[in-house]
Amino acid sequence: MKIIRAKARNPFGKTKIPGAKFVVNQYIGCEHGCRYCYAKFMCKWYDYGEWGKWVIVRENLPELVKGRFVSGWVYMSSVSDAYQPIEAEVKLTRRILRNMNKNIKLRILTKSNLVLRDLDLLKKFRCMEVGLTINSFDEELRKEIEPNTPNMEKRFKALKKLHDAGIRNYGFISPVIPTLTDLDYIIEQTKDFVEYYIIEFLNLKASGDFRSWLKENYPRSYKILIDQAMLDQVISKIHRILAKHKVRVEGIVIHPQSL
């Protein structure tokens, strides 16, 4: 793993991410190395090699957030995972949380149960939401397409522990890949301790070479994603499952899939 140490000028960047006004990116690049990652486009801007093999650590962010306040939701992080493996060692996210104004409305999305390490700090925020990206990929598939992530069991348990600790949580069911994502199972496993869900279909357009990988390895999944009539059937089924479980859903994101 190539680690690049850098300094940021501004801790809060403006964002167009739905539901957020600002973003904090203490890392750029992500060791989780998901094959479908929408942030792979960063490789065009940073010439450090393959996505998942490098991380820029913006080491002055804990100092930069001190004494700053921004109004509106702040999202952490949009081009990395705040709790990727290196965080266990450098504790950058932890130091940012410690120094950040606790009146800032903060939403963190991660694939890692490492977030539980910071429960003590998360509890201090007036408005805090923590989401775990969850799916129903079996272990073989997870290792293939999300190679360095904690397994689903750990993510489900993390959601439960956040709930038990009184932290508002959400399940980000993503990427939904027809025939590979079992929404009924995911909701059955988590609905007792998840506040709300956001559901996002795979973004083929932003997934780079994952598109051809999916086409080759799971042709039916690919076909459904690019065929509007077939996709509509999957969406109808999702609505039936959601109605059956009576869970709160804040959004279903369906990307235009044509190139």
Q: What part of residues 61-90 is at the interface with ligand SF4 (CB under 6 A)?
A: 80-81
- Binding characters for ligand SF4, 96-135, by CB under 6 A (x = yes): ---------------x------------------------
Any contact of residue 33 with ligand SF4 (CB under 6 A)? yes
Give me the phi and psi of 149, to 5 degrees please.
-100, 155
- Closest separation in Å from C-beta 111 to ligand SF4: 5
Angstrom distance (rounded) from CA 62 to CA 66: 7
Any contact of residue 32 with ligand SF4 (CB under 6 A)? yes
Select 81 or 118, whichever has its Cβ closest to ligand SF4.
81
| In contact, 30 and 39? CB cutoff 8 Å | yes
Parallel, antiparallel or unpaired: strands 13-14 and 127-134: unpaired
Select 28 or 100, whichever has its Cβ closest to ligand SF4.
28
Report how many residues bind ligand SF4 under the rule CB under 6 A.
9
- Closest listed residue to residue 73, CA positions, set 23, 6, 9: 23
Any contact of residue 207 with ligand SF4 (CB under 6 A)? no
- Closest listed residue to residue 212, CA positions, set 220, 202, 222: 222
Angstrom distance (rounded) from CA 210 to CA 114: 27
Angstrom distance (rounded) from CA 126 to CA 103: 5
Select 144 or 164, whichever has its Cβ closest to ligand SF4.
144
Select 33 or 178, whichever has its Cβ closest to ligand SF4.
33
| In contact, 9 and 61? CB cutoff 8 Å | no
- Closest separation in Å from C-beta 93 to ligand SF4: 14
Among residues 20, 23, 28, 39, the one that binds ligand SF4 under rule CB under 6 A? 39
